[in-house]
Amino acid sequence: MTMQRMDGEGAGRPASPLLRAASACRGVVETLGRLMGLAAGWVFIACALFITADVAARNLLRVSSQSTTEITGYMLALGLAWGLGHALTTRSHVRIDLLVNRLPAGPRRWLHLVSLALLAVFAFFIAWGAVELVRESWLFGATDISLLRTPLVIPQGLWALGLCAFFVLVVLLLAEGVLLMLAGGGEEVERRLGSRGTNEEVEEALEAAALAKGTSLAKTGTEAR
pLDDT in tens, 119-168: 999 999 999 999 999 999 999 988 888 777 889 999 999 999 999 999 99
Q: Which of 127, 128, 122, 98 is nearest to 111 (CA)?
A: 98
Smallest Cα–Cα separation from 37: which of 88, 71, 102, 113?
88
In tens, the pLDDT along 72-85 reads 999 999 999 999 98
What does the DSSP 8-state code read for residue 91? T
Going from the C-alpha of 141 to that of each of 133, 136, 153, the distances in angstroms are: 12, 8, 8
pLDDT above 70 coverage of the chain, percent: 80
Exposed (0-12), middle (13-18) or buried (19+): which is 87, by Cβ within 10 Å?
middle
The per-residue pLDDT for range 11-27, each reduced to its tens digit, is: 444 567 888 887 888 88
Question: Does 154 or 181 have the greater pLDDT score?
Answer: 154
Does residue 142 come out as left (phi exceeding 0), alpha (psi in the -120 to 50 range) or beta? Answer: beta
Q: Mapped to the 3 state alphabet, what secondary structure does 190-214 carry?
A: HHHHCCCCHHHHHHHHHHHHHHHHH
Q: Per-residue confidence at 100, pLDDT binned at 50, 70, 90?
A: confident
pLDDT of 201: 60
Q: Which amino acid is at 18?
A: L
CA distances in angstroms from 32 to 78, 92, 133, 165, 192, listed in the order given: 15, 17, 24, 8, 17
Q: Which residue has the higher pLDDT, 101 or 89?
A: 89
What mean pLDDT comes out for the span 73-102? 84
Question: What is the structure's pLDDT at 8?
Answer: 42
Tell me the pLDDT of the chain averaged across its residues: 80
pLDDT value for 162: 93
End-to-end CA distance of the chain: 45
Q: What is the mean pLDDT of residues 189-214?
A: 67
CB 126 within 8 A of CB 168: no
Pick the more confident residue, 48 or 105.
48
Q: Is the pLDDT of residue 90 over 80?
A: yes
Q: What is the pTM of this model?
A: 0.77
> DSSP character for 51?
H
Which pLDDT belongs to residue 2? 39
Count CA atoms closer than 13 A to 203's CA, side-chain side: 5
Residue 201: other Cβ atoms inside 10 A: 10
Does 7 have pLDDT greater than 50? no
Pick 18 or 44 by higher pLDDT. 44
